[in-house]
Amino acid sequence: MLFHVRMDVQLPPAMPVAQADELKKNERELAQSLQRSGKWRHLWRIAGQYANFSVFDVNSVDELHALLTSLPLFPYMKIEINPMCRHPSSVRDTDA
Amino acid sequence: MLFHVRMDVQLPPAMPVAQADELKKNERELAQSLQRSGKWRHLWRIAGQYANFSVFDVNSVDELHALLTSLPLFPYMKIEINPMCRHPSSVRDTDA
Amino acid sequence: MLFHVRMDVQLPPAMPVAQADELKKNERELAQSLQRSGKWRHLWRIAGQYANFSVFDVNSVDELHALLTSLPLFPYMKIEINPMCRHPSSVRDTDA
Amino acid sequence: MLFHVRMDVQLPPAMPVAQADELKKNERELAQSLQRSGKWRHLWRIAGQYANFSVFDVNSVDELHALLTSLPLFPYMKIEINPMCRHPSSVRDTDA
Amino acid sequence: MLFHVRMDVQLPPAMPVAQADELKKNERELAQSLQRSGKWRHLWRIAGQYANFSVFDVNSVDELHALLTSLPLFPYMKIEINPMCRHPSSVRDTDA
Amino acid sequence: MLFHVRMDVQLPPAMPVAQADELKKNERELAQSLQRSGKWRHLWRIAGQYANFSVFDVNSVDELHALLTSLPLFPYMKIEINPMCRHPSSVRDTDA
Amino acid sequence: MLFHVRMDVQLPPAMPVAQADELKKNERELAQSLQRSGKWRHLWRIAGQYANFSVFDVNSVDELHALLTSLPLFPYMKIEINPMCRHPSSVRDTDA
Amino acid sequence: MLFHVRMDVQLPPAMPVAQADELKKNERELAQSLQRSGKWRHLWRIAGQYANFSVFDVNSVDELHALLTSLPLFPYMKIEINPMCRHPSSVRDTDA
Amino acid sequence: MLFHVRMDVQLPPAMPVAQADELKKNERELAQSLQRSGKWRHLWRIAGQYANFSVFDVNSVDELHALLTSLPLFPYMKIEINPMCRHPSSVRDTDA
Amino acid sequence: MLFHVRMDVQLPPAMPVAQADELKKNERELAQSLQRSGKWRHLWRIAGQYANFSVFDVNSVDELHALLTSLPLFPYMKIEINPMCRHPSSVRDTDA
Which DSSP string corresponds to E13-63? TTS-HHHHHHHHHHHHHHHHHHHHHTSEEEEEEETTSSEEEEEEE-SSHHH
Dihedral Cα C53, C55, C60, C61, nearest 10 deg: 10
pLDDT digits (tens, 9 = 90+) for G76-92: 999 999 999 999 999 98
User: pLDDT at position A30, please?
Assistant: 98
Element (H, E) at F30: helix F17-36
User: pLDDT at position C2, please?
Assistant: 97
Largest CA distance in chain B: 49
pLDDT digits (tens, 9 = 90+) for H35-47: 999 999 999 999 9
User: pLDDT at position I94, please?
Assistant: 79
Structure ipTM: 0.95
CB H57 within 8 A of CB H41: yes
User: pLDDT at position H14, please?
Assistant: 84
CB B81 within 8 A of CB B5: yes
Going by pLDDT thresholds of 50, 70 and 90, the confidence category of residue E92 is confident
SS3 G93: helix
CB H5 within 8 A of CB H73: no
Question: Is residue A96's pLDDT more than 80?
Answer: no
User: pLDDT at position H92, please?
Assistant: 85
Distance of residue E40 Cα from the nearest chain F Cα, in angstroms: 10
Find which of G24, G44, G49 to mutate to test the I interface (most I CBs within 10 Å of its CB): G49
Task: Pick C47's closest partner by Cβ from E12, E65, E75.
Answer: E65
User: pLDDT at position F22, please?
Assistant: 97
pLDDT digits (tens, 9 = 90+) for I5-51: 999 999 988 899 999 999 999 999 999 999 999 999 999 999 999 99
Q: Which residue of D has its CA nearest to E84?
A: D61
Q: Which residue of H has its CA nearest to G46?
A: H84
Residue type, C81: I
User: pLDDT at position H54, please?
Assistant: 98
Inter-chain Cβ pairs, chain A and chain J, closer than 8 A: 16
CA E64/CA E5 separation, integer angstroms: 10
User: pLDDT at position G95, please?
Assistant: 79
- Determine the average pLDDT of the residues in E2-14: 94
Going by pLDDT thresholds of 50, 70 and 90, the confidence category of residue C89 is very high
Question: Is residue H96's pLDDT more than 80?
Answer: no
Task: Pick A85's closest partner by Cβ from C1, C61, C85.
Answer: C61
Q: Nearest CA to F39 among F76, F5, F74?
A: F5
User: pLDDT at position D35, please?
Assistant: 97
Kindly tell me the sign of the dihedral angle through the C-alpha atoms of E95, E96, F4, F8.
positive
Domain chopping of chain F, boundaries: 2-88
Question: Is residue D52's pLDDT more than 90?
Answer: yes
Between chains, do F60 and G1 touch, taking CB under 8 Å as contact?
yes
What architecture (CATH level 2) is domain B2-87?
A: 2-Layer Sandwich (3.30)
Which residues fall within 8 angstroms of residue E52, CB to CB, at 6 or more apart? E6, E7, E43, E44, E45, E46, F87
CA J65/CA J3 separation, integer angstroms: 11
Task: Pick C85's closest partner by Cβ from D47, D84, D85.
Answer: D47
Rg (CA), chain I: 14
- Determine the average pLDDT of the residues in H24-30: 97
Between chains, do J49 and H79 touch, taking CB under 8 Å as contact?
yes
Distance of residue H60 Cα from the nearest chain F Cα, in angstroms: 34
Question: Would you tell me how many other CB atoms lie within 10 Å of the CB of residue H25?
Answer: 11
G2-86 CATH choice from 3.40.640.10, 3.40.50.12280, 3.40.1180.10, 3.30.70.1060: 3.30.70.1060
H48, exposed or middle or buried, with CB in 10 Å at 0-12, 13-18, 19+?
Answer: buried
The CATH number assigned to the domain with range E2-90 reads 3.30.70.1060
CA B78/CA D8 separation, integer angstroms: 30
pLDDT digits (tens, 9 = 90+) for G44-59: 999 999 999 999 999 9
Q: Which residue of A has its CA nearest to C66?
A: A85
Partners of chain E (3+ Cβ pairs below 8 A): C, D, F, G
User: pLDDT at position A13, please?
Assistant: 82
Element (H, E) at G78: strand G77-86
CA F33/CA I51 separation, integer angstroms: 56
SS3 C73: coil
Q: Nearest CA to B81 among B2, B4, B1?
A: B4
CA H66/CA H61 separation, integer angstroms: 9
CB H11 within 8 A of CB H20: yes
CB J53 within 8 A of CB J6: yes
DSSP letter at D70 equals T
Please tell us whether the domain made up of F2-88 is placed in CATH 3.30.70.1060. yes
CA C72/CA C26 separation, integer angstroms: 7
CA A70/CA F58 separation, integer angstroms: 56
SS3 B18: helix
Which residues fall within 8 angstroms of residue H12, CB to CB, at 6 or more apart? H76, J13
Distance of residue A40 Cα from the nearest chain B Cα, in angstroms: 10
Largest CA distance in chain H: 49
Q: Nearest CA to D62 among F9, E1, E54, E62?
A: E1
pLDDT digits (tens, 9 = 90+) for C14-34: 899 999 999 999 999 999 999
J2-95 CATH choice from 3.30.70.2740, 3.30.70.1060, 1.20.1340.10, 3.30.429.10: 3.30.70.1060
The reply to whether J61 touches chain A by the CB within 8 Å rule is: yes
Between chains, do E83 and D83 touch, taking CB under 8 Å as contact?
yes
pLDDT digits (tens, 9 = 90+) for J13-36: 889 999 999 999 999 999 999 999
Question: Is residue D92's pLDDT more than 90?
Answer: no
Q: Which has the higher per-residue pLDDT, I96 or H15? A: H15
